[in-house]
Structure 1
Amino acid sequence: MPDWAEVIIRTVTAVLFLFILTRLLGKRQISQLSFFEYITGITIGDLAATVSLDIESKWFLGIISLSVWVLICISIEFLEIKSKKARDLIDSSATVLIKDGKILEDNLKKEKLTNEELLQQLRKKSVFRAAEVEFALMEVSGEINIMLKKEYQPLTPSLLGVKVAPEVEPQTIILDGVIMEEPLATIGRNINWLHRELEKIGVSLDNVFLGQVDAFGGLYVDLYDDQIKVPEPQERAVLRADLKKIEADLELFSLGTQNKEAKKMYEQSSIQLKQIILDLEYLLTR
């Protein structure tokens, strides 16, 4: 067999076998790497290259070497899952770089990290002043995670006492002008409903690049033709306006009647409806 043909066969075999082994190792191998995972990636890559190009050696020996190495990796990962001491020994542990707003210089030296590199990592987290950081930690993967001081943390609805609707995964129901029937059924809708919604906004199905439905049933579409402006859905705004009109009508009825019982009923109904509108404000204005 010619050398070039053998190299092709060896390479294809190595790629296929490497793919299978990587699937066995799991997604951790393509995420942030620990020390051992970093060594594993280099070693497996080197062994796969040897299997592909070293035509003077027996190719199956490289396959055996790859298999043994992967078995060792899987065993070590299993050991790490079962034992924290093993995790600390193999992958080390996280290192505190900033505590109570104070940079720990000794820990920076331990991780061979300069102050410029620390500031660079903070900037990646959109923090440009070290004084804003309450706590910073270098993970075993080398990533630095931070917690800002209370006064520099962004405002959230919970801090403001504002209720927000629960966020549910949006469903993609149109891709490249094709209706995705399974996600459509997941939200309890059918194709007829989708066509009616597209008619409301004056859009044809074949012009839709992407279509999604949010947790509240609102349809968002992105069109192939970027010159066409898609109107925003107004159902919730219309519903809020209708409720406010009913509330105003109840107040008007209470002022217009001389019957004390009817007046009291209209006033109470108006107050109750006003409270309902306040409770649902975060839904109706979303």
Structure 2
Amino acid sequence: MYAISQALRALRHHLTSTLATFTTSLVSFTLLFLLGLVLWNLGKVVSSLEREVEIAAFLKPAADAGALRDQIAAFEEVLEVRVVSKEEALAQLQLSYPYLSQARELIDNPLPDTLRVVLKNPNQVRDTARKIERLEGIESTTYGGEITEQLLRVLGGVRFAALLLIGLLLLDTLFSVMGTIRLSIENRREELRVMQLVGATRRFIQGPFVVEGLFLTLLASLVALGLGLLAYRFLASALQQLLPFLPVLGLNDMLMAGGALVLLAAVLGTGGAYLSSRANLKESDL
């Protein structure tokens, strides 16, 4: 209780530095939370696209679709192979473009029989497509992996930039907490010397400062959590109206992210306060 009461007194006494550290932490944690949610959401989008990646192998006119299906299904990396006849392919095309039904009466079906290949690991799509294309009876192959690969490269760049920004924000918050604790120690230097003279241990003296740092970052993280959730829900709602097929994070995901944010804030607050109090108390020979 002593540590808590002294920490609250210090926060009230140094209101300017308290507000400065709180504001810095609030901005940092809000950006950190939003960046984390966005990166997590992008990862879900890419995973969803990867699950839908499949290879389309177009057969030559005289090819045996059944034999090729069995041959490809024996590949270790293949999960499923499905034969799509040219009649079925044309029927599917007509569902998307109804006007083609009129042209069907004028010309023969130009589409080839196709094998739709689903892989166990979508990352192997390029190599597997080349492997299938070398088989006798395969005219050509195509797959949707090009877009996924481009997205992965873009996501990698965005993730690196976001992690760099997150690191800078965390360092800024840590140093801000350390500065506030140092100021608090300087203002109580005489009181701390008296406490040492009457037998107070270093750990007892450090306690209020550690609690002070914890209070600062915890309060900032809770406010940031509320702001971040509101901002994300607004952005997610707007995106889903434009692109309904995009997956968004659920309530459990956001609660997990919020818990991680609060835990990180607690570590930063206590860690920064402990490091600062240890260094500055040592300087004052306490």
* TM-score relative to the length of structure 2: 0.19
- Higher share in helix: 2
Bigger RCO (CA 8 Å, 6+ sep): 2
